């Protein structure tokens, strides 16, 4: 297990590759953002995208998938600034927080039409449990719903443009053919859509029928292309920075949390209690946690040194969102012990070593963690 020499991400992170100088591709992408990308030129390209959407539309100019978070609030503000008439869509999580609902209401009040799409909770429970057992991943249903409902709605309402936020493939490391592109298509969803390359058909079994999974059914991408429906990332046209989106969102009514729910930021992962449960299995599978991503972004944006990031990591530890895990377990109707037993089956034995009952990672980026305490808690 090796760590980037510039940020603190490990090479176990899916999609992340270290070069001969031990610098990861996410950091290399960040250099491109600052030095090699002409953002004024890209903004002009976005203006053309907007113009084309307005010419094609007979109602809504664009569809914006939103959660009510600071990023989607910024997306809405940006699209309204460019004179677009958006329809916003949310997948309603089974454990939306009060603050998340408050921020979503604020987003809607900015002046948009909005659809809040709820899926049968009985189906969600079964799908979540199945995903946890099969892949040790709880966000497969969420991402499959979001990435499939959005284009399906665009098809149904004849909306020519879908506007997503950041391109995670670019921000967190990917192959060149993905981070240099300007569209989100079927290949992107299958590779970077956090669905483990699966579609709804892969989840049909004795407990989940094809009709149960209709909300997770992918659109007909060929018909989308024939209709001229385009999906783009706003982060491909405007430099993406979480501090910027947070500041703009706050200026327009977005509410921060009293403290960071998980990781570094008090403005992220606020809308759903299960988001932290989605991030937590990274610890067992890849040997890092949410705060590694946050600290690495701060390093790339020049607000934190690598040494200071490691110091913060040393103090915070890997973070175990036990309260959210309890809420999640109550929803899918399993015990906390069963949850951790399932996660244990996904522990990566290529990086983890069991030393007399204590799980640890040798030659880790932090030298003096209490691995015994961490083992007992996780």
pLDDT tens, residue by residue, 60-79: 999 999 999 999 999 999 99
The answer to whether the beta carbons of residues 214 and 152 sit under 8 Å apart is no
Query: What's the Rg (C-alpha) of the chain?
Result: 21
Question: How much is the pLDDT for 182?
Answer: 52
Question: How much is the pLDDT for 338?
Answer: 97
Can you tell me the mean pLDDT for 2-6?
Answer: 97
The answer to whether the beta carbons of residues 140 and 132 sit under 8 Å apart is no
Question: How much is the pLDDT for 181?
Answer: 53
Can you tell me the mean pLDDT for 101-123?
Answer: 98
pLDDT at 365 over 60: yes
For residues 203 and 143, give the distance between their C-alpha atoms in angstroms, rounded to a whole number: 14
| Better-scored residue on pLDDT, 240 or 378 | 240
Among residues 348, 211, 320, 99, which one has the least CA distance to residue 328? 320
Q: Which residues neighbour 241 within 8 Å (Cβ) at sequence distance 6 or greater?
A: 301
The answer to whether the beta carbons of residues 351 and 287 sit under 8 Å apart is yes
Can you tell me the mean pLDDT for 283-301?
Answer: 94
Rounded mean pLDDT of the chain? 91
For residues 171 and 101, give the distance between their C-alpha atoms in angstroms, rounded to a whole number: 27
pLDDT tens, residue by residue, 307-345: 999 999 998 888 899 999 999 999 999 999 999 999 999
| Better-scored residue on pLDDT, 181 or 308 | 308
Which tokens go with 378? 């996780």
Give the residues across from 233 on adjacent strands: 164
Q: What's the predicted TM-score (pTM) here? A: 0.91
% of the chain with per-residue pLDDT over 90: 77
Which tokens go with 30? 């960040």
pLDDT at 178 over 80: no
For residues 260 and 281, give the distance between their C-alpha atoms in angstroms, rounded to a whole number: 19
pLDDT tens, residue by residue, 48-60: 999 999 999 999 9
pLDDT bracket for residue 193 (50, 70, 90): confident
For residues 86 and 363, give the distance between their C-alpha atoms in angstroms, rounded to a whole number: 50
pLDDT at 378 over 80: no
For residues 116 and 204, give the distance between their C-alpha atoms in angstroms, rounded to a whole number: 25
pLDDT at 177 over 50: no
Q: Which domains does the chain have, with CATH numbers?
A: 39-236 (3.40.50), 262-377 (no CATH)
Q: Which residues neighbour 108 within 8 Å (Cβ) at sequence distance 6 or greater?
A: 88, 114
Torsions phi, psi of 162, nearest 5?
A: -110, 125
pLDDT tens, residue by residue, 211-258: 999 999 988 888 998 999 999 999 889 988 889 999 999 999 999 999
């Amino acid at each position: 297990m090796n760590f980037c020499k510039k940020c603190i991400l490990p090479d176990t992170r899916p999609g992340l590759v270290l070069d001969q100088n031990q610098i990861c591709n996410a950091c290399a992408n960040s250099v491109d953002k600052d030095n090699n990308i002409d953002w004024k030129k890209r903004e002009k390209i976005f203006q053309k995208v907007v113009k084309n959407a307005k010419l094609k539309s007979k109602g809504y100019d664009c569809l914006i998938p939103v959660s009510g978070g600071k990023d989607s609030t910024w997306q809405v503000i940006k699209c309204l600034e460019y004179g677009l008439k958006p329809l916003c869509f949310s997948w309603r999580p089974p454990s939306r927080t009060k603050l998340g609902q408050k921020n979503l209401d604020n987003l809607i009040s900015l002046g948009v039409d909005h659809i809040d799409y709820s899926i049968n909770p009985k189906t969600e429970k079964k799908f979540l449990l199945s995903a946890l057992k099969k892949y040790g991943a709880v966000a497969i249903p969420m991402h499959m719903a979001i990435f499939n409902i959005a284009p399906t709605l665009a098809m149904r309402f004849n909306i020519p443009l879908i506007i997503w936020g950041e391109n995670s493939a670019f921000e967190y490391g990917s192959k060149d053919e993905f981070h240099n592109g300007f569209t989100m298509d079927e290949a992107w969803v299958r590779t970077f859509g956090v669905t483990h390359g699966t579609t709804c058909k892969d989840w049909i079994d004795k407990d989940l029928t094809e009709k149960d999974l209709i909300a997770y059914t992918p659109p007909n991408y060929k018909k989308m292309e024939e209709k001229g429906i385009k999906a783009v990332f706003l982060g491909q046209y405007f430099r993406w920075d979480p501090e910027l989106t947070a500041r703009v969102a706050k200026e327009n009514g977005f509410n921060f949390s009293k403290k960071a729910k998980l990781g570094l930021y008090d403005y992220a992962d606020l809308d759903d209690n299960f988001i932290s449960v989605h991030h937590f299995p990274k610890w067992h599978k890849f040997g890092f946690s949410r705060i590694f991503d946050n600290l690495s972004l701060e390093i790339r944006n020049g607000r934190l040194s690598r040494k200071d990031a490691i110091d913060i990591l040393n103090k915070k530890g890997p973070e175990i969102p036990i309260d959210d895990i309890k809420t999640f377990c109550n929803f899918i109707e399993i015990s906390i012990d069963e949850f951790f037993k399932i996660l244990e089956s996904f522990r990566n034995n290529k990086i983890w070593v069991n030393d007399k009952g204590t799980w640890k990672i040798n030659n880790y980026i932090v030298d003096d963690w209490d691995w015994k305490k961490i083992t007992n808690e996780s």
